[in-house]
Structure 1
């Protein structure tokens, strides 16, 4: 075939270009490329969110549990070594409860190292933030449930997997104070999630606070499934909504609700029913030995 013939044939039957072979206009190809890139970005975002959730709900638990376990061992070791207690513990039958103005925890009594410090309905020595107070035991949240109690409800303290004692807007009273509200907070999810099952508590359930030399036994009187996070009255000396109408020796446990959110708060209220002396073997009260 001559060159002239080939040229005529090519003109009559041109070879298909890229557009003719694929049958796709260039605009559609660009759209598919954009969709592909978007899909990859969504997959990457999903992986990042998955890692964040894993960190928030699992790894922070691991870190908090390690920190709390070490701090718990340190506190118990100090007790075993005969170190000073966080505060001299009292009891309902002690002089503070009988109104002795010279008792260490009586209203208006002088405080070691300073003047009287008002608590939530009681008085006592002000403890520094982060100070270990004792341990919280709640059988309804597990037979061996135990949480270290520390002063403070700031983010750093609660992130260590502890139950923090309120210092504001009301300074909580201590269990050994003549009256007041021992108000605590802990995370419900992440950072140890120590109050994850707080909604398992019901009226009549025991709550026990362990200090170096006393067991403080409370009974749940009422619960509040949900309230606004601005409702500070739930940790007042006489907690709002609890049903209590006069000063007493109370305990309040608070956390976020619903689970995996911090939109609302829930509360559990109890009152002191008994104080047991600690024996040499640290024998738990009957409420912690049942079941």
Structure 2
């Protein structure tokens, strides 16, 4: 009778391979769960927390001002100021229509929320804070004001930035704005209504011309304005979930109403 030969070394090698495969599988599952949790945190939790915080800040500002205004007031029809071939409202154009800008002394401190941006088409009400710091402003779901640019209602360019994805993503659907859409900026002293004049679908993150006092893209000079006026610039990242380019929306002051 033939005695079977047991290859113990072969069995040990197979056992080691199985343990290695099992350990590798466990590691992959663990990494997958961690990545899933990170995605949930970024796409859901940060949005939830930032949106709630931003809404509380809007309510706090309105209580502080003492006269909250309904967001629907921003959706009414407005007449566009006198405009030239570039669709720009000059200071004289605003005065001729009896809508002189109400621009009191606005000197917010760093990261201080001091205004509310209302965009009816996007169902958006977001606090505006000084600076564009991610940690102190943008990641809270706020819209940030570029330091050194004009303030609401002032001649020049009131330039703002906001997240398009995560952390409240106030500018998630900024690409839906079209020429002629109106939106407002509410402050302690006045409410300013702007009308969208131009949309720059894509430009470089370092295209500083878009937030200049007379905004004009340095990457594509066919977009922008060529004379002084009362402007508001909205900027965010594009395409979604990247920061490779910037989407820019320009508005022109249409009216100013004291609170």
TM bracket, shorter-chain basis: 0.7 to 0.9
Which of 27, 52, 55 is the equivalent residue of 1:69? 55
Give the number of equivalent residue pairs: 225
Q: How large is the Cα RMSD of the aligned pairs?
A: 2.6
Q: Which has the higher contact order (CA 8 A, sep 6+)?
A: 2
Q: Alpha-carbon deviation of 1:73?
A: 2.1
Which of 219, 224, 234 is the equivalent residue of 1:253? 234
Structure 2 counterpart SS, 1:219? strand
Structure 2 counterpart SS, 1:57? helix
Q: Alpha-carbon deviation of 1:30?
A: 2.8
Q: CA 1:104 to 1:59, structure 2 compared with 1: closer, same or farther past 3 Å?
A: closer
- Residues 171-192 of structure 1: CA deviation (Å, up to 9, x unaligned): 1211232x11111111111111
Whether the 8 Å CA contact 2:181–2:195 is kept in 1: the answer is: yes
Question: Distance between the aligned counterparts of 1:104 and 1:49, measured in 2?
Answer: 48
Question: Distance between the aligned counterparts of 1:137 and 1:185, measured in 2?
Answer: 14
User: Which one has the largest radius of gyration?
Assistant: 1
Structure 2 gaps of 5+ residues are: 68-93, 218-222
Structure 1 gaps of 5+ residues are: 1-11, 82-91, 106-123, 279-291
Match of residue 162 from structure 1: 142
- Residues 114-143 of structure 1: CA deviation (Å, up to 9, x unaligned): xxxxxxxxxx5532112222211112212x
Q: Alpha-carbon deviation of 1:208?
A: 1.2
Return 219-228 or 207-216, whichever deviates more.
207-216
Q: Alpha-carbon deviation of 1:26?
A: 4.1
User: What TM-score does the superposition give when structure 1 sets the normalisation length?
Assistant: 0.70
Question: Distance between the aligned counterparts of 1:276 and 1:125, measured in 2?
Answer: 16
